[in-house]
Amino acid sequence: MADYLLHRVDGDERMLILGMRWHTILGSRLDRRARKTARQMRATHYAHDGRSEAVGVVRLGRADRRGARLLYSGALAFAAGHRHGVAALRARLPDGRIWVVAVQSGKVLTHSDRLYVSEQDAEQALADLVERYGDGLDVYGPQDGETGDLSALLPADAQACGLRECGWALPALPKPLAVAALGCALALGGRAAWDGYRSRQVAAVPAEPVDAASAWRQSLDRALRNVRVHGSADRARLLAGLAELPAGIGGWRLASASCKRAAAQDWSCAARYDRQARQATNASFLEARPAGWQETWQPMDAVVAHFSLDAGGGPLDPAALRDRTWQDGHALSAVQRILPLLSGAAVGEFAPLRIQAPHDEQGRELERPAGMPALFERALRLEGPLRSLLAVPEELDGQIEWRQVSLTIDDGAAPSLNRSRIMAGISGVLYAHE
């Protein structure tokens, strides 16, 4: 358990810990089972979000233990942002190593959160994941050769991702020694408890009470801080950005493209071009490609061009959301009306929007106040000809956050109502209130 790395986030005293070991836990009271498993693994600290069936454990070195309160699990932070489907992150670190983590429905997969020295080992780890999960796996990461910026993994409220101490247990000792050690511990503990009691009686100062309504509003604001919902114009601008990609560049032919939401209004995109003409070279591609692109070459017959798009969007306003009943009866009905134009569609079940509960002055969770909006989210994915995605109904406007869009070129496809040479897919999260 010593193969871990502490990664400092620029401008933040907190650090991400990468390279923990993850174990599956089953049954009820997962929080207790998580700690028990960590102690069985002889770990000093563990990471668990209180609900997942996976616990990460680590044995920190003595020097690192002093700052453990500022350490947060990078894997758990990534999982918090990917609670639907299967996702993986590949990030090159400043020391040259490559971090690979994978999650499924918000649970860290046990054989991920690993640090690799070589590109080959990291790519093999991703290939194993692709072989297991196929097209359902979304892979995130910077361009080859770049250092990954992991600052986005740490939200303002990252308490659920923080490391927890395992506590300690008496080592296995001969019975006489164990009895003597226990007696000493009880004596010292009793004296410490008495001193603490006297101290509290003499100089107890009541802590400032926490305003539950204000604390919950702040937690909700933090949960929504990185969410951006989109309208028809935003979606049309994004699809147009892909539709306007050059079909051919210097003897290279467009094969596929994809974009993922990267920042407030930016989408990180990649387009794959295959070498088609016999006279095509890397130089002919560079001479003809649009300005501002960056390339990753796949010798000798493919290149992936990286660029960004502005797809707009705005902050999520809970007051502007429709309720779940309206979405089932109207929004999804509107989607169903365009199903003949699509090759596939999938919608997930509603799940409560995850909000980190605030705590009172004594560290106890504050009761959710009356009137606090109850928000829900569900995954939505649509697939079909690129032209069909322009017909996505306006009922989704302001209710959905589009997170990924893809495009593939199939010259052999027979055109029909729901098939074409240019197929596309778009996926995101649909929000609603009670």
Nearest to 116 by CA among 247, 267, 272, 5: 5
Angstrom distance (rounded) from CA 334 to CA 165: 50
N-term to C-term CA, the chain: 44
**Model pLDDT, residue 175:** 53
For residue 371, the model assigns a pLDDT of 79
Q: What are the two backbone dihedrals, phi and then psi, of residue 91, each rounded to the nearest 5 degrees?
A: -135, 130
* Reduced 3-state DSSP string for the chain: CCCCEEEECCCCCCEEEECCEEEECCCCCHHHHHHHHHHHCCCCEEECCCCCCEEEEECCCHHHHCCHHHEEEHHHHHHHCCCCCEEEEEEECCCCCEEEEEEECCEECCCCCEEECCHHHHHHHHHHHHHHHHHHEEEECCCCCCCCCCHHHCCCCCHHHECEECCCCCCCCCHHHHHHHHHHHHHHHHHHHHHHHHHHHHHCCCCCCCCHHHHHHHHHHHHHCCCEEECHHHHHHHHHHHHCCCCEECCEEEEEEEEEECCCCEEEEEEEEEECCCCCCHHHHHHHCCCCCEEEEECCCEEEEEEEEECCCEECCHHHCCEHHHHHHHHHHHHHHCHHHCCEEEECCCEECCCCCCECCCCCECCCCCCCCCEEEEEEEEEEEHHHHCCCCHHHCCCEEEEEEEEEECCCCCCECCECCEEEEEEEEEEEEC
Distance CA 270, CA 86 (A): 20
pLDDT at 420: 94
Residue appearing with tokens 């009670």: 434
Residue keyed to tokens 């020097």: 63
Per-residue pLDDT at 1: 42
For residues 396 and 232, what is the distance between their CA atoms, to the nearest angstrom?
8
- Rounded to whole angstroms, the Cα distance separating 126 from 119 reads 11
Give me the pLDDT at residue 169, please.
46
Beta bridge partners of 260: 268, 404
Q: What is the pLDDT of residue 133?
A: 79
Taking CA atoms, 4 is separated from 7, 100, 130, 188, 227, in Å, by 10, 13, 25, 35, 31
Q: Which residues contact 410 (CB under 8 A, 6 or more apart)?
A: 421, 423
- Average pLDDT by consecutive 10-residue portion of the chain (434 residues)? 75 85 84 89 91 90 87 90 86 88 90 88 87 81 55 70 77 53 59 60 58 85 86 93 95 94 77 94 95 88 92 88 94 95 92 84 81 89 94 95 92 90 94 92
Q: How far apart are CA 165 and CA 207, in angstroms?
A: 25
pTM exceeds 0.85: no
**Neighbouring residues of 145: CB distance < 8 A, sequence distance ≥ 6:** 92, 296
Write out the two tokens for 262: 């990267």
pLDDT for residue 202: 45
Torsion of CA 30, 42, 160, 379, to 10 degrees: -60
What's the pLDDT score for residue 203? 47
Residue matched to tokens 């995850």: 354
User: Can you tell me the distance from the alpha carbon of 262 to that of 228, in angstroms, rounded to the nearest whole number?
Assistant: 11
CA 371 vs. chain centroid, Å, equals: 29
Cβ contacts of 76 within 8 Å, gap of 6 or more: 47, 48, 49, 56, 108, 160, 161
Using CA atoms, how far residue 74 sits from 4, 11, 199, 407, in Å, is 11, 17, 40, 30
**pLDDT confidence of residue 193:** 62
